[in-house]
Amino acid sequence: MSSSNLTIQWFRQQAASLLLYQGVFADEIGQAFLKVLQTLDHNDSAVSWQAYGVWFKALATKEQNWQDYVITRILHDDNPFTQQVQRYPLESLPEALIAAAQHDLQVLQQLSRCGGKQLAAWIPGHPVAWMIPTASLTLLHQQENWGEAIASLADYYSQKGTGIFAQYRALSWQNRELVGITKPDPVKMSEIVGYERQKADLIKNTEFLLAGYRALHVLLYGSRGSGKSSLVKSLLHEYGDRGLRLIEVAKSQLVNLPAIVDTLRTVPQKFIIFVDDLSFEEDDEAFKALKVVLEGSVTARAQNVVVYATSNRRHLVREFFGDRPRPSDSDEVHAWDTQQEKLSFSDRFGLTLTFEPADQNTYLQIVHHLAQEAQIELNPEELDFRAKQWATRHNKRSGRTARQFIDFLSAELATTTQVTPPQS
């Protein structure tokens, strides 16, 4: 057997020896890499070329070099070591668990060196090697022996989390599972003008959550376009580095809310379950599910989870005149009690923040703030005049209307000031 075959066999044995970090190679790129190793000492070079092509294309799609890919997967991997080191000090973990993690890290370091240049050299005909510069340095890039980085990794996992919560700060619940949001809304707190008291109360409650205290569920109620949803989403950019995660749950998915909370209960990160535009019909199953989470049940409340919901309705359960009790033989005896339960549902949120419609001064204040951020240089009187016209013709005075006006104005000014290139 040739020395190259022995080397290939050694790399295969190394990959098979992983004790905890098998998930590093669980995705398309990792599986393609293992497939290349399996085909390299076969007589049919076409099979190796095909396997290498799948691996090459997958890495090229991610725009990542091989070592960066392996390190990223290590930092996100969810396994018994990464889970436990988030909850307990490294020195209190079982010695066997620490030794297994160190073993795997050393193995993964060896495998990370088996990149495009090495794989291409083993394939007859030598295909193009996938090699691009390292995107950014991490704690593992700077370590000669990854096994010796165990303490630094433990600190990283305890701060950043693992699995999907390390990879994404914003998630949504879809088809009974959490799905990461690659590009969350970029809105920042500094972009939201007005409603300073409401903003301060929401920030204070979120700070309580991050500090480990019993934070309140919050209902943000009021005029459409007033920035309720944007304010909640902006919290992610303020506190994502401190372990805050935002999970968006559609009203149709609220029946799964108790299960979602149970999933998050033992995770060290702090979670805002965000429900936008909340309202219920009578006998809505989602109503019952949310009530359980807000009021609690036999199961203890999850200390790291709060619900932030927005609504244009003060009373979240729709009421009709026909719902009001009228004495008859077939009616419920204590019908008013049932009706009051519906009307008082919003009271089950510990904190209700009211967003009143923006008056003209507030609207213009928002416009000028956004215009400054967009670097729009326009006479203040003209800006006021055009903003008032916009509000009259489109929707009404609100933060949303101001944002739409500034976006349109920015594009308009940019296109009208462009110099037309001379015709040849």
Backbone phi, psi, residue 103, to 5°: -60, -50
**pLDDT reading at 419 higher than 50:** no
List, for residues 4-29, the tens digit of each pLDDT value.
Answer: 777 889 999 999 999 999 999 999 99
Mean pLDDT of 96-110: 97
Query: For residue 272, what are the β-bridge partners?
Result: 246, 306
Mean pLDDT of 50-70: 93
Instruction: Kindly list the distances between the CA atom of residue 341 and the CA atoms of 45, 277, 294, 334, in Å, as whole numbers in the listed order.
Output: 72, 20, 14, 11
Which helix (DSSP H) or strand (DSSP E) does residue 321 occupy? none
List, for residues 276-319, the tens digit of each pLDDT value.
Answer: 988 766 556 666 777 777 776 556 688 999 999 998 865 545 54
pLDDT at residue 267, rounded to an integer: 86
Q: Find out whether 232 and 219 touch, Cβ atoms under 8 Å.
A: no
Task: Output Rg (C-alpha) for the chain, integer angstroms.
Answer: 28
Q: Find out whether 272 and 244 touch, Cβ atoms under 8 Å.
A: yes
Least confident of 39-43, 244-248, 379-383: 39-43
Residue that wins the pLDDT comparison between 97 and 322: 97
Mean pLDDT of 56-69: 93
* Band (353; pLDDT cuts 50, 70, 90): very high
pTM for the whole thing? 0.77
Distance CA 146, CA 345 (A): 54
Mean pLDDT of 172-183: 92
* Band (328; pLDDT cuts 50, 70, 90): low
List, for residues 237-277, the tens digit of each pLDDT value.
Answer: 999 989 999 999 988 888 888 889 988 988 889 999 999 98
**pLDDT reading at 226 higher than 90:** no
Give the chain's mean pLDDT. Answer: 85
pLDDT at residue 150, rounded to an integer: 95
3-state helix, strand, coil in the chain (%, to 5): 55, 10, 35
**pLDDT reading at 98 higher than 60:** yes
